């Protein structure tokens, strides 16, 4: 593939600025070009980026000055959330403006129904030039895009392959976050039509597992220490059984080699048991690196491996958890450092080329992520760190700089928001609400007081039970409906760490009754029901029973079926 000078391991902002001046096509927008009346739309999304790892929300873990620039120029949403906290279903909801049970992408296992109409298709038809670069996660040929270069599936951090519209399958040497940005800037400079509004989807792989940071950040982040969350040693005693049964503990389910970069040789020497595809994942990822990259990795992680060699024989379970937490944060936050740098590269380009004034810039993640809260990594649950997602939106001239909103907004709303901003009518079957009134400061035109959530992927990796819920600013009413029939009521104001289920507390009897009624109304509004839920249960259970679901063995299937049979027997 012919590459610009910026491809590869990435350039500093100053160096990139020089490149932009000399590479043909990277010229400032002509003062004589007719500016499009409809706003340009830049949708920036990272994968598994927790809101607590953005300094505009909380700077105890990391500073993200470039992502923060979007909030400084516009609005930060403190109560943004997802409808289903898992990667591909979240992306399907964003594209279609419909809940998972209607767009059909309820989990990562089953494919996306490509007959769905997506908002990029609608914008393209309405005259927008459209492009996508980075991680889509499902489908090899996204509809509605004039140009795309996307990672296959999860994609790779180093020397990644891409599926492209015009060049077929290609492989590019370097670090994925830098490369995605290079491709994005290349399109803006060379292919963007200055007389058309554009939709640009700029989608990062980072900080998805297994959290490989750029070489330039290895020395800094492998020596950092981070504060532990208050609930790192949560014993789950205050809630129903799904929290204790989930398989996403940092201590018990995060792998030593595949996640923490402990070499298989040291694992063998110390007798450290493998967790999942531990050594295989490490070996496969190391094989992707060039000799120079591999040497840099070995050098950076050697002190940490040596530390573990000395400490492991006498470490308590608490000390192992603390060691693994620090390793997790070093890699996770190190991978975010590159995301922030590259968002800065994009913002710098927009400012240098007079593209800020008529452009909506939205930064979000496909969902939240646990950074040790409740002892967990990953997502899936409706507890805040997974359910809530970062959302920062700049729209110069429309949105007040430095503003904040605590309204209950969701990724369900993005499609209608973009269509509304473009003056394009949304299809009647879209289920979200446009955020344009909030972005314009017209809070009186927004009247949502509750949102709906439904997670489906069980039994599967991480074993988070199926549940649906209603969430208001004050409460969460959660129904874990598969295997046992269990309910939780969380008081969000009095119990912000979400440690106590008050469902059976008489003091909440009135609240519980009101929330049950409101939940029933929401399920009818969004056309969700028990028949649909059971059909998705049956479909996944059938595949799991036939060994087709990752992370589930037949012993687990038998246990689930036995437990379910006992529940059904009691109900009779």
pLDDT of residue 34: 56
pTM of the predicted structure, to 2 decimals = 0.93
**CA 147 from centroid of its chain's CA atoms:** 23
In which residue are the tokens 């839920």 written? 533
Separation CA 475–CA 495 (nearest Å): 10
DSSP lists the bridge partners of residue 470 as 452, 477
Q: Give the end-to-end CA distance of the chain in Å, rounded to a whole number.
A: 65
pLDDT of residue 570: 84
pLDDT of residue 36: 62
Which residue, 236, 237, 230, 238, is CA-closest to 325? 230
In which residue are the tokens 């969701």 written? 410
SS3 state at 297: helix
C-beta neighbour count of 82 within 10 angstroms: 27
DSSP E strand boundaries for 298-365? 359-365
pLDDT of residue 23: 34
Separation CA 18–CA 517 (nearest Å): 61
- Please state the φ and ψ torsions of residue 77, each to the nearest 5 degrees: -100, 125
pLDDT of residue 492: 98
SS3 state at 35: coil
Which residue, 53, 42, 225, is CA-closest to 134? 42
Length of the chain: 572
Q: Which two tokens stand for residue 138?
A: 């499902």
pLDDT of residue 35: 56
Q: Which two tokens stand for residue 325?
A: 């937490």
Q: Which two tokens stand for residue 329?
A: 């944060």
Where do the H-state alpha helices sit in 97-239?
A: 100-103, 119-125, 176-190, 218-221
Domain architecture of the chain: domains with CATH: 13-212+338-445 (3.40.720.10), 239-328 (no CATH), 453-571 (3.30.1120.10)
pLDDT of residue 63: 98
pLDDT of residue 192: 98
CA distances from 166 to 38, 150, 176, 188, 196 (A): 27, 12, 20, 17, 21
Q: What is the pLDDT along the chain (572 residues), one digit of tens a residue?
A: 333 323 333 333 323 332 333 333 333 333 445 556 899 999 999 999 999 999 999 999 999 999 999 999 999 999 999 999 999 999 999 999 999 999 999 999 999 999 999 999 999 999 999 999 999 998 878 999 999 999 999 999 999 999 999 999 999 999 999 999 999 999 999 999 999 999 999 999 999 999 999 999 999 999 999 999 999 999 999 999 999 999 999 999 999 999 999 999 999 999 999 998 899 999 999 999 999 999 999 999 999 999 999 999 999 999 999 999 999 999 999 999 999 999 999 999 999 999 999 999 999 999 999 999 999 999 999 999 999 999 999 999 999 999 999 999 999 999 999 999 999 999 999 999 999 999 999 999 999 999 999 999 999 999 999 999 999 999 999 999 999 999 999 999 999 999 999 999 999 999 999 999 999 999 999 999 999 999 999 999 999 999 999 989 899 999 999 999 988 888 87
Report CA torsion sign: 55, 380, 256, 284: negative
Counting Cβ atoms within 10 Å, is residue 196 exposed (0-12), middle (13-18) or buried (19+)? middle
Q: Which two tokens stand for residue 327?
A: 């390793």
């Amino acid at each position: 593939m012919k590459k610009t000078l910026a491809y590869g391991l990435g350039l500093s902002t100053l160096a990139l600025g020089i490149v932009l001046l000399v590479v043909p096509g990277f010229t400032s927008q002509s003062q004589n070009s007719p500016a499009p009346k409809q706003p340009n739309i830049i949708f920036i999304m990272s994968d598994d980026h927790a809101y607590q790892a953005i300094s505009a929300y909380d700077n105890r873990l990391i500073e993200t000055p470039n992502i923060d620039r979007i909030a400084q120029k516009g609005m930060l949403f403190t109560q943004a959330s997802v409808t289903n906290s898992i990667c591909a279903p979240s992306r399907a909801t964003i594209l279609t403006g419909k809940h998972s049970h209607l767009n059909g992408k309820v989990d990562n296992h089953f494919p996306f129904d490509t007959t769905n109409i997506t908002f990029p298709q609608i914008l393209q038809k309405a005259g927008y030039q459209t492009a996508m670069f980075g991680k889509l996660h499902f489908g090899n040929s996204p509809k509605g895009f004039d140009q795309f270069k996307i990672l296959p599936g999860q994609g790779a951090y180093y020397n990644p392959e891409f599926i492209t519209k015009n060049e077929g399958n290609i492989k590019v040497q370097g670090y994925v976050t830098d490369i995605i940005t290079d491709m994005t800037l290349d399109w803006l400079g060379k292919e963007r039509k200055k007389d058309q509004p554009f939709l640009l989807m700029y989608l990062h792989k980072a900080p998805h597992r297994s959290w490989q940071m750029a070489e330039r950040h290895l020395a800094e982040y492998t020596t950092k220490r981070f504060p532990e969350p208050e609930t790192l040693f949560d014993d789950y005693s205050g809630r129903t059984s799904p929290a204790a049964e989930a398989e996403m503990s940092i201590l018990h389910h995060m792998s030593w080699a595949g996640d923490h970069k402990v070499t298989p040789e040291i694992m063998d020497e110390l007798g450290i048991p493998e967790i999942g595809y531990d050594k295989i994942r490490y070996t496969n990822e190391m094989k992707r690196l060039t000799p120079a990259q591999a040497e840099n990795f070995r050098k950076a992680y050697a002190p940490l491996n040596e530390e573990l060699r000395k400490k492991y024989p006498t470490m308590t379970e608490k000390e192992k958890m603390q060691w693994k937490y620090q390793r997790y944060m070093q890699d996770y936050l190190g991978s975010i450092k590159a995301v922030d740098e590259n968002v800065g590269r994009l913002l710098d380009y927009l400012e240098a080329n007079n593209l800020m004034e008529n452009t909506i810039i939205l930064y979000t993640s496909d969902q939240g992520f646990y950074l040790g809260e409740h002892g967990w990594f990953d997502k899936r649950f409706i507890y805040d760190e997974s359910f809530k997602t970062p959302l920062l939106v700049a729209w110069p001239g429309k949105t007040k700089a430095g503003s904040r909103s605590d309204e209950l907004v969701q990724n369900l709303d993005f499609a209608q928001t973009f269509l509304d901003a473009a003056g394009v009518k949304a299809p009647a079957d879209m289920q979200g609400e446009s955020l344009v009134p909030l972005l314009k400061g017209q809070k009186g035109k927004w009247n949502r007081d509750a949102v709906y959530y439904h997670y489906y992927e069980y039994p599967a990796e991480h074993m988070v039970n199926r549940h649906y819920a209603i969430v208001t600013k004050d409460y969460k009413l959660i129904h874990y409906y598969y295997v046992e029939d269990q309910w939780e009521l969380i008081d969000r104001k009095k119990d912000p760490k979400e440690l106590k289920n008050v469902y059976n507390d008489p003091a909440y009897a009135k609240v519980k009754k009101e929330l049950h009624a409101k939940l029933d109304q929401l399920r009818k509004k969004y056309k969700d029901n028990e028949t649909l839920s059971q059909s998705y249960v049956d479909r996944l259970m059938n595949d799991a029973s036939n060994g087709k679901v990752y992370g589930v063995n037949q012993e687990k299937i038998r246990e689930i079926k036995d437990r379910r049979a006992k529940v059904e027997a009691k109900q009779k």
